[in-house]
Structure 1
Amino acid sequence: MTAPGAFERGTDGPRVILVGVDGSATSLRAAAYAAGLARRQRSRLVAVYVMEPAPPMAGWVPAAQAVAQEAAAEVDAELRQLSTRAEELGIEAEYRVVHGDPVTELSRIADQLPADAVLVGASEQAGHRVVGSVAVRLVRVGRWPVTVVP
């Protein structure tokens, strides 16, 4: 039980908001929503871009790996600009790039911060209805509120 007048972590609005970004339209909308929430709540915003490893078959086509790395570098550069823009708007923002599985890495960072809220964009891939999207998998982890932005 907390002292009278004291707030438990996460009960008076989020102090730390984590948003997963990957350059997709829905993740950029999630980043914009998270930035607005962070600005209104005076929260710290941590944007995380998780670079997934290249599929094993990419090694069969030498140019494919180079194209994938170039695309990831372009997404990274665009997301860095968004982080700078957030700071210009008076939002305490941090941008991180990590490598691995998006759910594993977002969960690890959310626990490490610790985050009060996690935001991600809805998946635009049809196969995720069967296998499960990053958003669905994060909700199943169930350690923080997860907002999925369409």
Structure 2
Amino acid sequence: MAGYEFPERKRVVDPSSTTDPAEEAACTSRDPAFLHGVVVGFDGSTSSERALAYAVGMAVRSNCGLIIVHVANRLPTTVWAGCEPPALVDVPDHRTEILGLELACAENLSEVPWVLLERGGDICHELEEVGQEYQADAIVVGTTHGLIGRIFGSVSGRLARRAQRPVVVIP
């Protein structure tokens, strides 16, 4: 984003270490402002708005970028066709476009460079995958309130148990 420049981060490389060329190519193709950034799950709910506000403050304090992830819904085809084995179909989700417009107008995001990503699939898996891609320092999510979270388990609880990086859960 225009107007935001971060000082160069010095990277110390151990000459005896071996790095995977594919992994290094993936790291160098990313914008350095978002490498080691903060990933936040966002769906427009009240709890995700609180998580976004906390993640903005965390990114400002850490002098890094903010990776906002919206996971779109995927529905099994067995609901419609009754076929086996179950397959997943991407349903067009215009919600990401609406969220992007809302985020573009948000005043608190003017303090930090940010990007909005749309993914499809399991929320926990997708947030952790984005965290790996960007080598995120943390993943921030809001809590799930309601009956569905109690029956199937909350996204924040499942993510905290399986993530390979710190997870911050905002009530």
TM-score by length of structure 2 reads 0.64
Shift of the 113–23 alpha-carbon distance from structure 1 to 2, 3 Å rule, reads: same
Gaps of 5+ in 2: 1-12, 15-34, 82-89
Aligned residues: 131
Distance 1:28 1:87 in 2: 11
Distance 2:170 2:158 in 1: 15
Q: How does 1:101-120 map to 2 (within 5 A)?
A: 101-120=122-141
- The residue number in structure 2 matching 1:77 is 98
Say whether the 8 Å CA contact 1:19–1:47 is kept in structure 2. yes
- The residue number in structure 2 matching 1:6 is none
1:51 corresponds to which of 72, 87, 109: 72
Percent of aligned pairs sharing the same letter: 30
Amino acid at match of 2:163: G
Distance 1:74 1:133 in 2: 22
1:122 corresponds to which of 113, 131, 143: 143
Instruction: Report the alpha carbon displacement of residue 57 of structure 1 after superposing the two structures with TM.
Output: 7.5
For the residue of structure 2 that corresponds to 1:82, the secondary structure is helix
Distance 1:33 1:54 in 2: 31
2:44 is equivalent to residue 23 of structure 1 = yes
Task: Write 1 or 2 for the structure with the bigger share of helix.
Answer: 1
Instruction: Report the alpha carbon displacement of residue 27 of structure 1 after superposing the two structures with TM.
Output: 0.7
- The residue number in structure 2 matching 1:42 is 63
Shift of the 37–127 alpha-carbon distance from structure 1 to 2, 3 Å rule, reads: same
Say whether the 8 Å CA contact 1:123–1:134 is kept in structure 2. yes
Say whether the 8 Å CA contact 2:67–2:114 is kept in structure 1. yes
Relative contact order, higher structure (CA 8 A, sep 6+):
1
Amino acid at match of 2:137: D
User: Which protein is bigger by CA-based radius of gyration?
Assistant: 2
- The residue number in structure 2 matching 1:138 is 159
Gaps of 5+ in 1: 4-13, 61-68
1:96 corresponds to which of 103, 106, 117: 117
Say whether the 8 Å CA contact 2:36–2:64 is kept in structure 1. yes
Distance 1:138 1:22 in 2: 16
Say whether the 8 Å CA contact 2:36–2:134 is kept in structure 1. no
* Runs of 4+ with deviation above 2 angstroms: 54-60, 69-72, 78-81, 83-88
